[in-house]
Structure formats: C-alpha cells, structure tokens
C-alpha cells in the first residue's frame, strides 16, 4: 500500500550551496515563488500571482544554479568594464580579446 511521502521542511544541494525550505522565496522563468511544502523529490510552490504548482526539486536547483552562474558572469563583466578591460565569457571559457 502506497502512503504519501511525509513532508520535510528543507532539502539541501551542498555542491551548489542551495537550500530549499518551506516559506523561502525563489524564482524561475515563470516568476518568484514561495515553497509551501516539500514532499520527497517534489515541492509545492505558490507564485506571486497565486498560481500553485508542483515542481521537481532537482530541476529547480539546476535552474537556480544556472541563474547564479549568469549573475556571477555579469558581475565579472561589469567589473572588467569598470577597469577598462575587454574580455568575453563563452560556454564556460574565459577569453581575452
């Protein structure tokens, strides 16, 4: 007999330094959402517009990790531009032009 997965209140992804917890706010391409419940490898979320959805936790961890990588690259580019240097980032490679 299958029983529902007992809710937990947090899931950690140490390699990416991401912790999903009930009540915390995250974002994806749809918008900002609040984690309302965590059940095994899925989580119930509520978007700012009231939409409720069940998301795969690992997939959302990858989305957040990719957002963090893009933000770090943008900050590094801004820093280099302020220093008057011209560099480019492509597919994880750092190229000096």
* pLDDT, greater one: 7 or 41: 41
Beta bridge partners of 45: 35, 53
Q: Any idea where the domains of the chain sit in the sequence?
A: 10-69
Domain 10-69 coded CATH 2.30.30: yes
Average pLDDT over residues 84-94: 54
Helix (H, G, I), strand (E, B) or coil at 24: coil
- Model confidence over 5-39: pLDDT tens digits? 455 688 988 888 899 999 999 999 999 999 999 99
In 1-97, which residue ranges form alpha helices assigned H by DSSP?
A: 57-82
């Amino acid at each position: 007999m299958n029983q529902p997965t007992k809710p937990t209140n947090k899931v950690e992804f140490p390699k990416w330094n991401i912790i999903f917890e009930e009540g915390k706010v995250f974002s994806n391409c749809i918008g900002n959402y609040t984690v309302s419940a965590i059940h095994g490898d899925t989580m119930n979320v509520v978007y700012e517009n009231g939409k409720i959805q069940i998301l795969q936790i690992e997939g959302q961890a990858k989305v957040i990790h990719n957002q963090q990588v893009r933000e770090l690259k943008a900050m590094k580019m801004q820093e280099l531009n302020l220093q008057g240097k011209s560099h480019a980032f492509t597919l994880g490679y750092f190229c000096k032009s």
